[in-house]
Structure 1
Amino acid sequence: MKYLDLQRFKFSSLYKTHNSYSSNSKRARQSCANKTQNVLGTATLTKLLAAIATFFLVVLTHFHNLGNGDVAIAQKPPQLSETALPAAQVHPLPPFLLQWQDKTNSGDYFSGVKQTSVGYLVWSKFPVKVYLERPVELDSASFEGRKFQEWVKGVLQAVQEWKVYLPLEVVEKPEIADIRIGRSRPPLQASFNRETREFQIPRARSAQTRYEFYISQQGILSHRYNIQLSPDQVGNYIAAAARHELGHALGIWGHSPLETDALYFSQVRNPSPISPRDINTLKRVYQQPTRLGWSLSSPNL
């Protein structure tokens, strides 16, 4: 019998930048590996790395991966039988998506959107509540204060852009939010290369999005998101990163292969606005069945 995480099951999407490894970084990692090998001894180090590699393999084979360097992360969940979940059903389309017609016939990238263990990540209760971090006890005239205000302005711009297509509401309290957006650097998550037997430090990322499932007080299978946006972004790149991650949080759990789409997998010099292909993909996602938004006591279980 399969068991699913419904309360602490978490995945993350990592928005890459074009920064590449430097030769100095490679030499530093090699030097560190050599020093560690000298201390532990070859046999001990080999066993340790093999064990860690096995751990990563076991974890990642159970969770979805967005590709292009994106990593799925999960914590050990409380177990709940899959038979206890509501049946996957299609929700009514939100009003704008119902009326949306792409007159340019530009297509979509729905094939790149990943399903989860409960189906597609569709919102069914609107408006979706969005909370974004605000400066507290920070002088708005200071350099850091101005940077924070620029960040808030860029994030709010992205929220307003997506609000055209799905009902969104900015709220003041994080505890009532469906999507929480914080101003912090996404953590670097090392991976182990089994061929070279080296740990690889990933490139710096400007944003990260995580989701988790939970059961609401009304017995509804629900989800929520936490988005981390780097404070180092400036200008149009703040809105671009927020636009991209909000696209994930609104249902597009995947990437576009075209630079002209907001959900292109990497940051570009001239960020694209939300495109018809983005909306075509979003509409197709919302036309799919999902277990999210339905009651666990549904009569068709």
Structure 2
Amino acid sequence: MQRRTQRKIKNLFIFLFVFAFIGLLIVSDSSHSFALFPKAQLGNSQTNPPCCLDTTKPENSLSLSPTPHSPLPTPKPHPLPTKLSQWQDKGNNGDYFTDIQATKFGYLIWSKFPVKIYIETPNLNTNLAETWVKAVVQTVQEWNEYLPLQIISTPHQADIKIIRKVPPLQGNPPRARSALATYELYIQDNFLRHKFTILLSPSQSGKFLQAASRHELGHALGIWGHSSNPNDALYFSQVANPPQISPRDINTLKRIYQQSTSLGWKLG
């Protein structure tokens, strides 16, 4: 009887030990899985930033309408816009041109100026709507210092449309984005053209709304890529104190407009 009791006690201890060991494995595995997705890293991916289209494959987003029957134009450079040709960076701050993506049609360069921009008036009360539009207009005026831009009131004539709308979720697991810029190609009078749509999330306001608008306009004007420097407007992530347009941004823009593109040229 005593031996039987000792055996039961021994078996009980073995069971409890095995149970406790398995429990530790389960807890350890759960903690490790959670650590794979720390919140601090969500939305901070350089290759697939939260604000914008996946810049690794931008051509996946575009359409060409109508389908051209003639060969696409041979890529070649356009004359440098006057404001960019006059730009000189006395501080020699450098650029991030090597991080810019060229599409299979060449760089996303505008050649017909001024670039026409439509800013949608949001469906808000008058004061809030005016505040939102005013904030976005300010960023258009900032870029107008370097490229000729014109704000228009008719969306169908716009080269760039700016809309207050939640961008679609991105990634797996899905994550929200503060803004999004997409483009499409089309044929007009036998010339290859492009146009942009910018979505700005309603959750953005104040300096963060302006930062998002400034950033996406940079994409729409040709900077189809990101900077790794938080002092540039085209930095890949949102920061606590958003920067203005930097000399590096403009140096990069100028180099882009010196490159070849099929956009803005007549089909062969």
* TM-score, normalised by the number of residues in structure 2: 0.77
Contact 1:252 1:281 in 2 (8 A): yes
Residues 107 and 78 of structure 1: is their aligned pair in 2 closer, same or farther, counting only changes over 3 Å? same
Give, in angstroms, the shift of residue 111 of structure 1: 0.4
* 2:116 equivalent to 1:129: yes
Alignment of 1:1-301 (within 5 A): 67-69=47-49, 70-71=53-54, 72=58, 73-74=60-61, 84-135=71-122, 138-140=124-126, 146-191=127-172, 200-202=173-175, 204-216=176-188, 218-297=189-268
Q: 2: distance between equivalents of 1:234 and 1:265?
A: 19
Deviation digits for residues 48-68 of structure 1 (CA, Å, limit 9, x no counterpart): xxxxxxxxxxxxxxxxxx823
2 CA distance for matches of 1:89 and 1:214? 18
The residue identity in structure 1 corresponding to 2:125 is D
Q: How many angstroms apart in 2 are the aligned matches of 1:82 and 1:21?
A: 51
The alignment yields a C-alpha RMSD, in angstroms, of 2.5
Q: Deviations over 1:233-290 (max 9, x none)?
A: 1111111110000000000000000010000000000000000000000000000010
The answer to whether the 8 Å contact 2:140/2:149 transfers is: yes
CA contact (8 A) 2:64 2:187 kept: no
SS of the counterpart of 1:221? strand
Give the superposition deviation at 1:205.
Answer: 1.0
What's the TM-score once normalised by structure 1's chain length? 0.68
CA drift of 1:150 comes to: 2.1
Q: CA deviation at 1:232?
A: 1.1
Identity %: 53
Q: Shift in Å at residue 117 of structure 1? A: 1.0
Please tell me the residue identity of whatever aligns with 2:266. Answer: S
SS at match of 2:76: coil
CA–CA distance in structure 1, aligned partners of residues 218 and 196 of structure 2: 12
SS where residue 61 of structure 2 aligns? Answer: coil
- Name the aligned partner's letter for residue 104 of structure 1: G
Larger radius of gyration: 2
**Contact 1:151/1:231 (8 A) holds in 2:** no
How far residue 154 of structure 1 moved from its aligned partner, in angstroms, is 1.1
Inter-partner Cα distance in structure 2 for 1:246 and 1:75: 18
Deviation at 1:89, TM superposition (A): 0.8
Residue aligning to 1:61 = none
Contact 2:62 2:184 in 1 (8 A): no
Q: CA deviation at 1:99?
A: 1.1
Moved more, 91-100 or 67-76: 67-76
1:129 deviates by 0.1
Per the alignment, in what secondary structure is the counterpart of residue 130 of structure 1?
strand
